[in-house]
Amino acid sequence: NAGVMQNPRHLVRRRGQEARLRCSPMKGHSHVYWYRQLPEEGLKFMVYLQKENIIDESGMPKERFSAEFPKEGPSILRIQQVVRGDSAAYFCASSQQGLNTEAFFGQGTRLTVV
């Protein structure tokens, strides 16, 4: 049973370009969470999704950022018109529904905006 898979591991974008980060949850997991980690900081919650639904996006910037978790395929975190301040590590975690509340993390995608 593969763990949470994130790709790419490293992504370099020029200012103004779009960044797409992918996350495939663990098999059987229907809940996906995205977090951002700035240097020397803890992880900050961005968005919580279930299949085809955004449950909580209170941590997501209102502009340029969007997330989806389609019925088929991975969850996508999309950042449009990237700026230098978007440079960070982005982590995805997944969990099962119900009483199993343990979230398993992917290895993260390090986005560098140049």
Residue 112 tokens read as 């560098």
Q: Which two tokens stand for residue 82?
A: 């990237």
Tell me how far, at minimum, the Cβ of 42 lies from other proteins, in Å: 4
C-alpha torsion angle, residues 63, 69, 74, 76 (rounded to 10): 0
Q: What span, in angstroms and rounded, lies between the C-alpha atoms of 79 and 113?
A: 11
Q: Is 106:8 a contact under the CB 8 Å cutoff?
A: no
Positions 8 through 67 that interact with other proteins (CB under 8 A): 31, 33, 35, 40-45, 48, 50, 55-56, 59
CB of 13 to other proteins, least distance (A): 19
* Stretch 84-103: interaction string toward other proteins, x if CB under 8 A: -----x-x-x-x-xx--xxx
Task: Give the binding site for other proteins (CB under 8 A).
Answer: 31, 33, 35, 40-45, 48, 50, 55-56, 59, 89, 91, 93, 95, 97-98, 101-105, 107-108, 110
